[in-house]
Structure 1
């Protein structure tokens, strides 16, 4: 696939939507892409083992309309990650990212994710292998500032130095430690304190790297403020729970281009074709609309929107009429 189709993931990473398990599937990405043509979108994390040994190549499915879109891989075996990267490149992804940030027990038991912050040399070996397999498709990494009792002020620059030495020039740093012992994955997203100044300092320390920051960024104003210090910003849960706040004006405010979607109603209607295609292929309405529940967050009718979509999607044979019904309830209350 040519670069003009994949677009430029480095430029797009000025604002990106984080890879989030059970959330950023192809339906979520289609919804987000309708509100922004520019932001970089990520898949859910896919393990290299599932692709290489598990025969789960279907996990790589995506639509070219999602571009620029990156695949996030989880793993710690360089050879396996190399083969998974080859598969990703063949499918046409714009970027392949290595997960060194997820703190879940399942990830730890597989010796990948945030636990790899303790093994920067292995991470470097993995990244070298991935780069060899990727050709001109960029390989990137997403990490934490440290784990458990590590000192982030020492660990983060050392980790990024290993990444840099492996030839990787773009990284996203979640500005929190991960506590692998004692905190759940959910608690790890909130309880460890944010250390923005430490991450900001890495930009001067690694001037030839493109560094993005992640963690605690709730609004587009927050993202713009971070861009005064960083090359890029990655937004996670806020982009899912309040997508319009992050994405509707992202193209004009962050990238200086026209916004493709005028308002929330248009964002909902832009999904009609996608939903109808999904239903025609035997899919369920709720598989798509569950990602749209936060569209009217904070506005009159938001509760009715969520309830109508959630309850309507469970009805036998639920179709596109549920979406129109939900929109009608929002518009009635807004009027």
Structure 2
């Protein structure tokens, strides 16, 4: 019976380069605690299991910094907006950063176990090819690992590595392996343009995550002094207000107000309202005629004089 194999094929020289990284070795030692295979993959030989573990560790090294970034962004958004409603946290960001935050929120919520690399290592690796979201996040994370702006490398416990020598290395090795795996997969290989489409979407997500990193840096400095006008101005740009923090120009804006221009329909409705009031007034005042009020006084009060005659909108 043929044993299941990892869909990824990473060259030996790339594996040797990774094993020379102190940060990656520390990560592998930490993840070795979670090396329990399921019944299906537990029957694989030792060499196959070592391959599954290596590929799981590479995926973990790619995805966990993105998970850590999303958690930090969520915490900053909660502090800035003073809310724990997950559906409102996106309002703390704008543009590409908001789109990336929403995308990460959906993926990390639905696939939390895969993002954390928990469970059977072989199942974690094979799940990478299960949906477009998995593949897109994996490609974007690989692009981020080689980008000039990258999130701080972190351990699975969420603590930053102490020295640069312990930082995780760039991990572009997964891209050719992932492309080859897609070409060999019976589901994804039907579309010849699938790789270019996924790479384009992942590049957009990578750019959005970099924008999210930049906004987190700005938001962190603003949240540290929440009473400053900088935070109020930053939130107002997104159409938000910071609770209990009055804006410097709030009173000015209220006093000045907004200039409105009446339309022709609004002017006509105002005239109709005035005529309705006038008709009711005349109906009431006509009763005064029985009181034998002088005619010129009644005409002045009722507005029946020559100067008061205007074109009626309700009567011919």
Q: TM-score range by the shorter chain?
A: under 0.3
- Indicate the structure with greater strand content: 1
Look at both structures and tell me which one has the larger radius of gyration over its CA atoms. Answer: 2
Query: TM-score by structure 2 length?
Result: 0.26
